[in-house]
Structure 1
Amino acid sequence: MSSFRHGGPIAVTGLGLVSPAGMDVDSNWKTILSGISAAAEDPRLGDIPYRVTCRAPDFDAPSLLGRDQAWRLDRFVQLALLAARQAVSDAGLDRATWDGTRVAVVIGSSMGGTATFECQHVRFLERGATRVSPMVIPMTLMNMVSGQVAIDLGAHGPSLTPSTACASGATAIGIARDLLSQDRCDIAIAGASESCLSPFAITGLKQMNALANGTHPPSRACRPFDADRSGLVMGEAAGILVLERPADAQARGVPPRALITGFGASTDAFHPTAPDPSGKSAALAVHAALLDAGLGPGDVEHVNAHGTSTRLNDASEARLIARVYSSEPSVTSTKGVTGHTLAASGAIEAAYTVLSIQHGLQPPTANLSRVDDCAGIDLIRDGPRHQTVRAAVSHSFGFGGHNGVLVIQAT
């Protein structure tokens, strides 16, 4: 067992991605670099007024996970299982040989099994109580994403499901880092998963005026930091990172993809759904993450922005970036491709940041045609940018005022 000082770097040794950008890490990275949006008309939403979403392509759970297992799980858990298996394989780990008592699972979610609950509630109203599935509760409980992944992997260490809305993925990675630094585990399976592309959930967001207004074709609807942005497009995804102490990865002969060196969290305490326009609490999270990493605002070379394509979020985040980072870092939002995957966004965007550091390529912000006047920042557009980055930051901001910021550095 390795000695480790609290707050030190943690190695990212494995990645798993299932998102609208693709069904594995390589396809995700290729699509993110292309800047081609996954948003499309979604026939599964029936006849509700708004039907534009970003779905994971060709996700057939019975063929990917086995029919006996798939039918017992809501889609948000199915996505997580596939991503977790990818990440463990990418890290060169084998559940048959690891010490499962030293493996932690920390996977966030914000809405749990929404689609299953909605479907079963309709069945309850239309066909009666005896027709409700006995699996409805274990399929809809939010914590089942960590519980089912732990079962699948034989992980007997701490198992947690943080829920900080759209910051859940970043929060999960931050908690997993703490578990490793406190020697509560030797391996952490960390990230988030979300799939709530159901008529009821989409309608709820539409009633809030959070969704893009339909003045653009679906592929152009999500346009972070663009002057013509009108709202977000909902997506689904799972992003899983395998985290280990650097000395343990070295002992296994596995070179880390990158290092998680800092995490900061704060709360706006301002409004249930709107960000504090001053950005002062979000700035607290940024400064805490940088302090944790031993860096200053001038050391950050790239920011993976939360960038939701909503009026309020993009404006407040642009002001935050311009005010906090003296280095004038390059900035991108990958939500123009994937849509807003809610809890999963912080996890998949952390993975994209890892890949951007590894490859020396920073993805473009899709659909950015006319930069908003409020965004006086160095936004990447019209294609990927070749840029060697030693230190990057990934922002995640959620309903309830939750802020989570990760610092990711090259090895």
Structure 2
Amino acid sequence: MKKRVVITGMGALTPIGQDVTSFWEGLQEGRSGVRSISRFDPTGFPTTIAAEIPDYDPLDHFEAKVARRMSRFAQYGLVAAREAVRHAQLVMDRVDPVRVGVMVGTGSGGLDRIQEEYQKVLQNGSQKLSPYLAPAMLANMASGEIAIALGAKGPSAAVVTACATGSSCIGEAMRMIQYGEADVMIAGGTEAPITPLGLAAFSRIRALSRRNGEPQKACRPFDRNRDGFVAGEGAGVVVLESLEHAVQRGVPILAELIGYGATTDAHHITAPSPDGAVAAEAMDRALTDAGLSPEQVDYINAHGTSTRANDAVETMAIKRVFGEAAYRIPISSIKSMIGHLLGAAGSVELIASVETIRHGVIPPTINCDTPEEGLDLDYVPHTARKRDVQVVMSNSFGFGGHNVSLIVRRWDPRDESLITS
């Protein structure tokens, strides 16, 4: 029998808050983290805005020699992981470290270090290259750094599914616990794509909003005037445990992770399949895994990128799965406030989903002024909404056609069946 999996800790580093508490406050306020880029001079780029983490200083978190060896994405992942582990009251010498694993992925990896060190090679030759570049640029290095820092000696990996990475890592970590490969998994996603190279790459395929004069209004999921996503950065990490292990430790349980579904469009390297059928299949699989009917979902945290194709296809897929119920279920995209965190998006959005359940507040889709024709669901425009929420579905879709849906449910400590079954 599969083990039940619960969430006991969460950590977040985002453009509107550098911990879970401040991040959640920003979401409730409908606060935008999109600004003109300050990390480098974006003059001459078609897009000059992004959702940066303001006032981030590596030396606030790491010794100088440690910060020098780590790419920014790995730093973000470790900062979020430390918060999640503290939140979970997880002390490694009180558990079996070989039963604690790490699965934290990234879509882009160490873009910042790659670009910096390449410039050194061009200007001064290969002998000036940092010896830290080889490990710093690898996509698995956030997981590696987290495992080293925390002493987690169980299974470690970095699942990479582009913008679905964080959700894929959480879903696969869930499976490891369900089938007995680990008791605890530290899982999520991290991303630091706001570099000249990253900005140029996404600008070149016209994926980014060019609303440079109104940055806080640039990301507008489901709105008829949307013109692309806004690049964001940050990390989201959760501590997953088997129910038995969490109860044995006597720690508070935040929510239960009950469903995971994944599919691949097999259609195009960047565009979603236009009929939404395979994305809908991922949602169906998550519902089946959770043992739920569509009517039992109270809120959908949408992928909602603010691109022309994605928002339309996701709406279509939701209608396929939920039928008439789609029109009564609130749906919102927090990317409207924090931008698109790419490989970290799904994990940060799952944290928002858990907070929605815990606090009874659905975050809004800001800037959704006039939904496009056919995008006629309840997108919770402009302001947060108080609502009792028991079950949340969180969707993530990535370049390459990756589709992932996760489902979390409120944990009720009075429900003895969840402890004894």
Bucket of the pairwise TM-score, normalised by the shorter protein: over 0.9
Residue in structure 1 matched with residue 375 of structure 2 by the alignment: 375
SS of 1:196 mapped into structure 2: coil
Choose which of 294, 299, 307 in structure 1 pairs with 2:291: 294
Q: Does 1:30 align with 2:35?
A: no
Residue in structure 2 matched with residue 402 of structure 1 by the alignment: 402
- C-alpha separation in 1, matches of 2:370 and 2:90: 46
Letter in 2 for 1:356: T
Percent identity of equivalent pairs:
39
**Residue 68 of structure 1: how far off its partner (Å):** 2.3
Residue in structure 2 matched with residue 119 of structure 1 by the alignment: 116
Choose which of 74, 81, 85 in structure 2 pairs with 1:84: 81
Answer yes or no: is the 8 Å Cα contact 1:237–1:344 preserved in 2.
Answer: yes
Q: Does 1:260 align with 2:262?
A: no
Letter in 1 for 2:410: A
Residue in structure 2 matched with residue 387 of structure 1 by the alignment: 387
Answer yes or no: is the 8 Å Cα contact 1:62–1:71 preserved in 2.
Answer: no
| Consecutive aligned runs of 4 or more in structure 1 exceeding 4 Å deviation | none
Choose which of 136, 145, 148 in structure 1 pairs with 2:145: 148
Residue in structure 2 matched with residue 13 of structure 1 by the alignment: 8
- For residues 167-246 of structure 1, the aligned pairs below 5 Å read 167-214=164-211, 217-246=214-243
SS of 1:177 mapped into structure 2: helix
Answer yes or no: is the 8 Å Cα contact 2:108–2:193 preserved in 1.
Answer: yes
- C-alpha separation in 1, matches of 2:153 and 2:232: 31
Letter in 2 for 1:32: L
- C-alpha separation in 2, matches of 1:30 and 1:255: 21
SS of 1:11 mapped into structure 2: strand
**Residue 404 of structure 1: how far off its partner (Å):** 0.6
Answer yes or no: is the 8 Å Cα contact 1:164–1:171 preserved in 2.
Answer: yes
**Residue 392 of structure 1: how far off its partner (Å):** 1.0
Residue in structure 2 matched with residue 285 of structure 1 by the alignment: 282
Residue in structure 1 matched with residue 418 of structure 2 by the alignment: none
- C-alpha separation in 1, matches of 2:163 and 2:374: 23
Residue in structure 1 matched with residue 339 of structure 2 by the alignment: 339
**C-alpha root-mean-square deviation of aligned residues, in Å?**
1.1
SS of 1:403 mapped into structure 2: strand
Letter in 2 for 1:15: M
Unaligned runs of 5+ in 2: 412-421
**Residue 320 of structure 1: how far off its partner (Å):** 1.3
Answer yes or no: is the 8 Å Cα contact 2:163–2:396 preserved in 1.
Answer: yes
- C-alpha separation in 2, matches of 1:93 and 1:302: 30
- C-alpha separation in 2, matches of 1:81 and 1:116: 17
**Residue 345 of structure 1: how far off its partner (Å):** 0.2
SS of 1:325 mapped into structure 2: helix
- C-alpha separation in 1, matches of 2:149 and 2:212: 44
Answer yes or no: is the 8 Å Cα contact 1:103–1:186 preserved in 2.
Answer: yes
**Residue 89 of structure 1: how far off its partner (Å):** 0.4
Residue in structure 2 matched with residue 306 of structure 1 by the alignment: 303
Residue in structure 2 matched with residue 166 of structure 1 by the alignment: 163
- C-alpha separation in 2, matches of 1:65 and 1:336: 31
Residue in structure 1 matched with residue 104 of structure 2 by the alignment: 107
Residues 29-58 of structure 1, C-alpha deviation per residue, up to 9 Å, x if partnerless?
Answer: 000111121000013232342220101122
- C-alpha separation in 2, matches of 1:280 and 1:78: 37
**Residue 252 of structure 1: how far off its partner (Å):** 1.7
- C-alpha separation in 2, matches of 1:265 and 1:220: 32
Q: Does 1:51 align with 2:67?
A: no
Answer yes or no: is the 8 Å Cα contact 1:301–1:389 preserved in 2.
Answer: yes
Residues 177-233 of structure 1, C-alpha deviation per residue, up to 9 Å, x if partnerless?
Answer: 011011111110000101011101111111101000226511111111111100000
Q: Does 1:269 align with 2:266?
A: yes
- C-alpha separation in 2, matches of 1:294 and 1:44: 46
Letter in 1 for 2:6: A
- C-alpha separation in 2, matches of 1:10 and 1:333: 25
Letter in 1 for 2:97: G
**Residue 379 of structure 1: how far off its partner (Å):** 1.0
Residue in structure 2 matched with residue 73 of structure 1 by the alignment: 70
Q: Does 1:128 align with 2:125?
A: yes
Letter in 2 for 1:44: R
**Range with bigger deviation, 331-340 or 60-69:** 60-69
**Residue 66 of structure 1: how far off its partner (Å):** 2.1
- C-alpha separation in 2, matches of 1:407 and 1:250: 21
- C-alpha separation in 2, matches of 1:182 and 1:323: 31
- C-alpha separation in 2, matches of 1:34 and 1:230: 24
Answer yes or no: is the 8 Å Cα contact 2:109–2:138 preserved in 1.
Answer: yes
- C-alpha separation in 2, matches of 1:262 and 1:85: 26
Answer yes or no: is the 8 Å Cα contact 1:40–1:54 preserved in 2.
Answer: yes
Residue in structure 2 matched with residue 40 of structure 1 by the alignment: 35
Letter in 2 for 1:240: V
Letter in 1 for 2:11: G
Unaligned runs of 5+ in 1: none
- C-alpha separation in 1, matches of 2:158 and 2:270: 21
Answer yes or no: is the 8 Å Cα contact 1:300–1:325 preserved in 2.
Answer: no
- C-alpha separation in 1, matches of 2:136 and 2:212: 36
SS of 1:12 mapped into structure 2: strand
- The 1:282–1:216 alpha-carbon spacing in structure 2 relative to 1, beyond 3 Å, is farther
